């Protein structure tokens, strides 16, 4: 069978890779528009300490975190081993008055998840030893299984591996062709017939689906994320830091620290770095980790998160257009959930059991 995947972000690349590995004829369509969420995302894999109170989101988030074991093994078999993934642990910064309650909740979650490791409450001094720029003077919840990765590198690794299995990557603007059921995709002026089409086009998906009479509630949310460099500092094993706000700090091997991010609604696809965005990101980071004050600003990346009607992904088949599958609405959890959600979309496209109840993630809700 032939499947066309429209969108080459983290979820689309995962869908294409899964399908190619199982022998499908795969065409990945990449528009290379600026602001793709995968290219800017931070890459934090740690659902266990999340404060999100939605069981259905948490279920798929944990599945996404655990799926990285399978994905990394598959990619290694295909010769792809370097994409910034490392279990460096995470620190959830808490106040003394709430530490016992938060520790109990995070520990209970971690006990049910093989990747999380043994959660512990550590003091401020130990937290600063793990992440030297910190100034936090309270306790922190340490989750050793917390991980970070480079979203661009993971996507590119899956695309390369998919091509090794016979997939094709085509650049261009896609239009879905359907006559009752899916017929294929027109890429610019070239028609590609398909048995199934997976729409993994992120914040741009509504305009792709509207001509089919399919309406999904997705809007772009701008995120501005700053990359800093600390010359001479060995940042490779610094943990992910999760303050009490919605911001974060994480580090990579090249003396680089990533801080973010803004969550800007109602800005459309305005792909600009703004003074207010930079001020928010750096202000939050320096309030938590003043030791970053002398770091060099390397770049600021912008991504448009596809945000749905709630925090849960939009994932499933579209009943009125047989052969059409949607994977979208991953929001700020894209790099954590994306590969797993993409693999689920691939199963749907090849009419296999998704092995998960998808009713909470109905893409048309």
Q: Write down all domains in the chain, each with its CATH number in brackets.
A: 2-39+152-217+310-361 (3.50.50.60), 87-145+219-307 (3.30.9.10)
Q: H or E stretch including 322? A: none
Residue 84 has pLDDT above 90, yes or no: no
Chain segment 103-119, per-residue pLDDT in tens: 999 999 999 999 999 99
- C-alpha dist (Å) from residue 113 to 63, 67, 260, 356: 9, 11, 27, 17
Mean per-residue pLDDT for 284-294?
Answer: 98
Q: What pLDDT does 48 receive?
A: 98
Are 3 and 196 contacting, i.e. CB atoms less than 8 angstroms apart? Answer: yes
Are 44 and 340 contacting, i.e. CB atoms less than 8 angstroms apart? Answer: no
Q: H or E stretch including 172? A: none
Number of H helices, E strands in the chain: 9, 20
Write out the two tokens for 114.
Answer: 């093989």
CA–CA distance, 92 with 66 (Å, rounded to integer): 20
Mean per-residue pLDDT for 172-177?
Answer: 98
Instruction: Using pLDDT thresholds of 50, 70 and 90, give the confidence band for residue 244.
Output: confident
Instruction: Using pLDDT thresholds of 50, 70 and 90, give the confidence band for residue 39.
Output: confident
Chain segment 176-211, per-residue pLDDT in tens: 999 999 999 999 999 999 999 999 999 999 999 999
Instruction: Using pLDDT thresholds of 50, 70 and 90, give the confidence band for residue 83.
Output: confident
Instruction: Using pLDDT thresholds of 50, 70 and 90, give the confidence band for residue 71.
Output: very high
CA–CA distance, 326 with 9 (Å, rounded to integer): 14
Residue 35 has pLDDT above 90, yes or no: yes
The radius of gyration of the chain's CA atoms, rounded to the nearest angstrom, is 20
Q: What pLDDT does 319 receive?
A: 97
- Rounded percentage of the chain residues whose pLDDT exceeds 70: 100
Q: What pLDDT does 318 receive?
A: 98
As a whole number of angstroms, the longest Cα–Cα distance in the chain is: 64
Q: What pLDDT does 298 receive?
A: 97
What letters, b where the CB count within 10 A reaches 16 and e where it falls short, cover 49-82? bbeeeeeebbbbbbbbbbbbeebbebbeebebee
Mean pLDDT of the chain: 97
Mean per-residue pLDDT for 96-100?
Answer: 96
Q: What pLDDT does 246 receive?
A: 87
- What pTM value is reported for the model? 0.97
Torsion of CA 156, 158, 160, 164, to 10 degrees: 180
Neighbours of 2 (CB within 10 A): 15
CA–CA distance, 186 with 265 (Å, rounded to integer): 31
Q: What pLDDT does 32 receive?
A: 84
Chain segment 245-277, per-residue pLDDT in tens: 889 999 999 999 999 999 999 999 999 999 999
Residue 68 has pLDDT above 90, yes or no: yes
**Burial class (CB within 10 angstroms; exposed 0-12, middle 13-18, buried 19+) of 299:** exposed
């Amino acid at each position: 069978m032939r499947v066309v995947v429209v969108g080459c972000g983290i979820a689309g690349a995962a869908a294409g890779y899964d399908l190619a590995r199982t022998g499908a004829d795969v065409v990945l369509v990449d528009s290379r528009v600026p602001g793709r969420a995968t290219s800017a995302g931070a890459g934090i894999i740690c659902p266990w300490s999340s404060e999100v109170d939605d069981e259905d989101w948490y279920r798929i988030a944990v599945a996404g975190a655990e799926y990285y074991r399978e994905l990394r093994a598959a990619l290694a078999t295909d010769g792809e081993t370097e994409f910034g993934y490392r279990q460096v642990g995470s620190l959830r910064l808490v106040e003394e008055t709430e530490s016992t309650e938060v520790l109990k909740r995070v520990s209970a979650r971690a006990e049910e998840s093989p990747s999380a490791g043994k959660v512990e409450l550590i003091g401020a001094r130990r937290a600063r030893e793990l992440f030297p720029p910190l100034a936090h003077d309270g306790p922190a919840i340490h989750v050793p299984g917390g991980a970070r990765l480079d979203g661009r590198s993971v996507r590119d690794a899956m695309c390369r591996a998919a091509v090794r299995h016979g997939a094709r990557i085509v650049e261009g603007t896609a239009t879905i062709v359907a006559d009752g059921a899916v017929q294929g995709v027109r890429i610019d002026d070239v028609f590609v017939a398909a048995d199934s089409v997976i729409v993994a086009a992120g914040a741009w998906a509504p305009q792709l689906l509207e001509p089919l009479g399919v309406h999904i509630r997705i809007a772009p949310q701008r995120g501005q994320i700053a990359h800093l460099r600390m010359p001479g500092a060995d940042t490779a094993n610094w943990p992910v830091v999760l303050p009490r706000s919605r911001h974060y700090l994480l580090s990579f091997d090249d003396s680089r620290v990533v801080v973010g991010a803004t969550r800007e609604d109602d800005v459309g696809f305005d792909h600009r770095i703004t003074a207010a965005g930079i001020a928010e990101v750096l202000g939050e980071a320096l309030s938590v980790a003043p030791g970053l004050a002398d770091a060099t600003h390397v770049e600021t990346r912008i991504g448009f998160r596809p945000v749905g009607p709630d925090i849960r992904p939009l994932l499933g088949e579209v009943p009125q257009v047989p052969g059409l599958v949607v994977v979208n609405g991953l929001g700020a959890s894209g790099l954590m959930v994306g590969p797993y959600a993409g693999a689920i979309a691939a199963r749907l496209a090849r009419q296999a059991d998704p092995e998960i109840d998808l009713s909470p993630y109905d893409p048309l809700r």
